[in-house]
Amino acid sequence: MRELDIRDRRFARYVPANAELEELASGFRWTEGPVWMGDANCLLFQDLPRNRTLRWSEEGGVTVFRCPSNYANGQTRDRQGRLIACSHRGRCLYRTEYDGEVTTLVTHHGGKRLNSPNDVVVKSDGTIWFTDPLYGISSDYEGGRQLSEQPPGLYRFDPERNEIHLMADDFDGPNGLAFSPDETRLYVSETGDPADESPRRYIRLFTVSPDGTRLSGGEVFHKVEPGYCDGLRVDEEGNLWSSAGDGVHCIAPDGKLLGKVLVPHTVSNVAFGGPHKSRLFITASHALCAIFLNRRGCAWP
């Protein structure tokens, strides 16, 4: 049985005819933060409430990469290939060096502690962009309840200069983020304040200035339904692959829903991987899933 919901003919070509959704592993508490490590031919992802980062490979299955992870969530790699992770409990971003040492990159903005960095991407100029909602410090489940010292924000961190810049503060809950292939666009998911009766939940579109230091726009780009976009990735043609309540949605650069990969668990995040970056790994509730696509991920995680 094909687990596809095709809304546009283009989407029928995006998934090979005999490719099906695979459940690679399960038994986790809540999976998040997948990132492909091509040089090690493996995927790293989180079992967040269990405070550990896991490694999956075709040959070895699932093994523990790091425990404790300091309640790490979103992950990516910088342009030198080093692993960058968001830490809820540490209220920071940390980087794993080539020798395995862990470097804390950023903990504060304006003299106040960050909340709980959620997701992260690295731009081609080496700057690290991340979201900082309150989700990770609002309960004991994913890092421990702590007091917030500042509003939710979208940040750009320059590791060369050790400078952090607030890029947008008009979010209730900034979450996943991804650049378009040419980096002129930045998509950021707003997942709202869970205490609101109807939380704001949609993907926003920002225009990035040519020098990469400013954002404009920020309008609603697409509303994922059912559910909402937690994490997203962009493919080589600029299509968005977003988590949703019924699986993964593929959205064209003009905002049109092209189709869905239906997943029988709640999806949190996705990442392209495999030797051609054409396999979509899906962290979904207690499971890790994947499906081969006929599209490749954009150049960088």
Binding residues vs Mg ion (CB under 5 A): 118-119, 175, 230
Rounded CA-CA distance 116/137 in Å is: 6
CB of 153 to Mg ion, least distance (A): 15
Rounded CA-CA distance 9/69 in Å is: 42
Residue type, 296: R
Whichever of 210 and 226 has its CB closer to Mg ion, that residue is: 226
Whichever of 32 and 235 has its CB closer to Mg ion, that residue is: 32
Residue type, 206: F
Rounded (5°) CA angle 263-264-268:
60
CB of 301 to Mg ion, least distance (A): 15
CB of 14 to Mg ion, least distance (A): 24
CB of 99 to Mg ion, least distance (A): 29
Rounded CA-CA distance 55/46 in Å is: 9
Contact 91, 115 (CB under 8 A): yes
Rounded CA-CA distance 11/116 in Å is: 36
CB of 40 to Mg ion, least distance (A): 24
Whichever of 118 and 278 has its CB closer to Mg ion, that residue is: 118
Contact 255, 233 (CB under 8 A): no
Contact 43, 58 (CB under 8 A): no
Contact 113, 91 (CB under 8 A): yes
CB of 189 to Mg ion, least distance (A): 8
Whichever of 119 and 172 has its CB closer to Mg ion, that residue is: 119
Q: Please state, in angstroms and as integers, the Cα–Cα distance from residue 49 to each residue in 63, 162, 214, following that order.
A: 17, 30, 35
CB of 131 to Mg ion, least distance (A): 8
Whichever of 172 and 230 has its CB closer to Mg ion, that residue is: 230
DSSP state of 50: G
Whichever of 4 and 230 has its CB closer to Mg ion, that residue is: 230
Q: Scanning the structure block, which residue is given the tokens 């209220």?
A: 91
Whichever of 132 and 230 has its CB closer to Mg ion, that residue is: 230
Contact 151, 132 (CB under 8 A): no
Q: Please state, in angstroms and as integers, the Cα–Cα distance from residue 4 to each residue in 25, 84, 234, 272, following that order.
A: 21, 33, 19, 18
Rounded CA-CA distance 160/154 in Å is: 19
Whichever of 121 and 258 has its CB closer to Mg ion, that residue is: 121
CB of 221 to Mg ion, least distance (A): 17
